[in-house]
C-alpha cells in the first residue's frame, strides 16, 4: 500500500471556537505539511480544487508549484482537477510546466468536482457536466500524447496543428479519474485504461465498492488486462488516539460540530454531499472516517482493501480543525504506527 496526504485547503472558522486562520497562513500550513509528509515517508501529497464554499483551493497548480520548490521526491497530485470546467489547452500547459519544474512528479486526478455551483460560475450548463468531462478529458489526453493536434468538438473552438508547450517531463503524466457517486467516471477510466481514485469520503463502503466493481468489470470489457486496473481510495479524515474511548473523549465535540458546520441543507438527499454518520460513534463504527486507535485504523484500512483491492490510500489531517502541531503529530503517528503495518499486510505492485 502507498499513502498520500490530501488537503482541500478548507477555510472555515474553527468548528468550536469560531477562530479562522488568515488565508496566507493556511497556504503556508499546506506547504509546510507537504514537506513534513515527504520527511515522514509518505508517497504523495494532493491538493484539491474547489471554486465554491469555504475553500482556498481554486488554484491548486500554484500551490503545487510552491510545494514542488520545497520538496524533491514526493509525488504531487491534484484532488481533483475539475477538467469539466477548464480549458484542456490551459490544463495541458499548466501541469506540463509543473511536471517539468518537479522533474516528473506530477499526476492528475480529474473529475467533475464535488461542489454544486461551479458550472454556473464558469458559464457552463451543469446538466451537461458529463459531456463536458468526457470531451475535455479526451482532448487533454491527445494534447499530452500527440503533437500537431487537429481537433474539433462541441465545447471549445477547433484546434489546427496544435502542440502545447512545454511537453511533459518524461512522457504523459498518469491521470486518475476521481469517482464519488456516479458510474460515469469509472466508465471513462475503464475505457481509456486509466486508474480510478474513489472518494471514499462520505458514503458507506458499499457505495464506493459499487463504483470500483463497475470500473473493474468495464476495464476488462474494453479489452484491457485486468491486472492493470489500479485503484486508490480517499477517506473522511484522520483522528488518532490511544484507544476508541480516548478518541471519543478527545474528538466527539470537534467531529460533531464539524458535521453540523459542513451540512448543506440545499443538497440534502443528494449522495456525496452530506455524511450520514452524524455522531463520532457512527463514524468510528462504519463511516469512511479514520478515527480511533492505531489498530482500529489499521483494521479499517485493511477492511477497505479486502473490498476495494486498492493500491493507494489517501488521508486528510486538516479537515476537522486540528491545530498545526496536532496535524503534524497525527501524520507522524500514522507514518510510524499505522503505515508500516498496512504496507506489510497489503503490499501493492509498483506504483510510484
Tens-place pLDDT, residues 109-127: 999 887 767 999 999 999 9
**Mean pLDDT score of the chain:** 96
- Mean pLDDT for 284-288 is 96
Does 182 reside within a domain?
Answer: yes
Range of the domain at 11: 2-345
**How far is the CA of 9 from the CAs of 30, 58, 63, 127, 327, in angstroms?**
7, 9, 10, 27, 13
- Give the pLDDT band (50/70/90) at residue 135: very high
- Mean pLDDT for 68-85 is 97
User: Is the pLDDT reported for residue 150 higher than 90?
Assistant: yes
Does 20 reside within a domain?
Answer: yes
- Give the pLDDT band (50/70/90) at residue 299: very high
Least confidently predicted of 87-96, 151-160, 263-272:
263-272
Does 232 reside within a domain?
Answer: yes
CATH number of the domain bearing residue 315:
3.20.20.30
- Give the pLDDT band (50/70/90) at residue 196: very high
Does 78 reside within a domain?
Answer: yes
Does 294 reside within a domain?
Answer: yes
- Mean pLDDT for 22-44 is 98
- In the chain, how many domains are there? 1
Does 350 reside within a domain?
Answer: no
User: Is the pLDDT reported for residue 24 higher than 90?
Assistant: yes
Does 352 reside within a domain?
Answer: no
User: Is the pLDDT reported for residue 269 higher than 80?
Assistant: no
- Give the pLDDT band (50/70/90) at residue 132: very high
Does 160 reside within a domain?
Answer: yes
Higher pLDDT, 274 or 171: 171
Task: Please write the tens of the pLDDT for every residue from 210-250.
Answer: 999 999 999 999 999 999 999 999 999 999 999 999 999 99
Specify the pLDDT at position 158. Answer: 98
Amino acid at each position: 500500500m502507498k499513502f498520500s496526504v490530501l488537503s482541500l485547503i478548507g477555510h472555515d472558522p474553527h468548528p468550536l471556537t469560531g477562530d479562522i486562520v488568515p488565508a496566507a497562513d493556511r497556504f503556508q500550513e499546506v506547504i509546510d505539511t507537504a514537506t513534513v509528509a515527504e520527511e515522514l515517508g509518505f508517497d504523495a501529497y494532493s491538493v484539491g480544487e474547489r471554486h465554491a464554499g469555504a475553500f482556498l483551493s481554486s488554484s491548486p497548480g500554484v500551490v503545487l508549484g510552491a510545494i514542488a520548490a520545497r520538496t524533491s521526491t514526493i509525488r504531487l497530485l491534484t484532488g481533483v482537477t475539475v477538467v469539466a470546467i477548464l480549458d484542456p489547452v490551459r490544463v495541458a500547459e499548466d501541469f506540463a510546466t509543473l511536471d517539468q519544474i518537479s522533474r516528473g512528479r506530477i499526476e492528475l486526478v480529474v473529475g467533475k468536482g464535488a461542489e454544486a455551483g461551479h458550472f454556473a460560475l464558469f458559464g457552463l450548463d451543469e446538466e451537461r457536466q458529463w459531456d463536458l468531462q468526457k470531451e475535455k478529458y479526451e482532448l487533454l489526453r491527445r494534447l499530452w500524447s500527440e503533437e500537431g493536434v487537429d481537433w474539433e468538438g462541441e465545447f471549445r473552438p477547433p484546434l489546427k496543428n496544435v502542440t502545447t508547450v512545454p511537453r511533459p517531463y518524461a512522457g504523459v503524466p498518469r491521470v486518475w479519474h476521481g469517482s464519488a457517486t456516479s458510474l460515469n467516471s469509472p466508465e471513462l477510466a475503464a475505457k481509456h485504461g486509466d486508474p480510478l481514485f474513489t472518494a471514499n469520503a462520505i458514503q458507506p463502503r458499499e457505495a464506493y465498492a459499487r463504483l470500483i466493481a463497475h470500473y473493474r468489470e468495464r476495464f476488462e470489457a474494453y479489452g484491457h488486462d485486468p491486472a492493470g486496473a489500479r485503484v486508490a481510495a480517499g477517506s473522511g479524515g484522520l483522528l488518532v488516539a490511544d484507544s476508541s474511548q480516548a478518541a471519543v473523549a478527545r474528538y466527539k465535540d470537534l467531529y460533531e460540530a464539524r458535521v453540523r458546520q459542513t451540512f448543506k441543507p440545499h443538497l440534502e438527499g443528494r449522495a456525496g454531499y452530506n455524511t450520514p454518520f452524524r455522531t463520532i460513534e457512527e463514524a468510528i463504527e462504519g463511516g469512511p472516517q479514520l478515527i480511533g486507535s492505531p489498530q482500529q485504523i489499521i483494521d479499517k484500512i485493511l477492511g477497505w482493501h479486502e473490498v476495494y483491492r486498492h493500491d493507494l490510500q489517501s488521508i486528510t489531517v486538516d479537515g476537522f480543525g486540528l491545530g498545526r502541531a496536532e496535524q503534524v503529530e497525527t501524520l507522524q503517528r500514522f507514518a510510524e504506527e499505522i503505515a508500516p503495518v498496512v504496507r506489510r499486510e497489503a503490499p501493492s505492485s509498483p506504483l510510484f
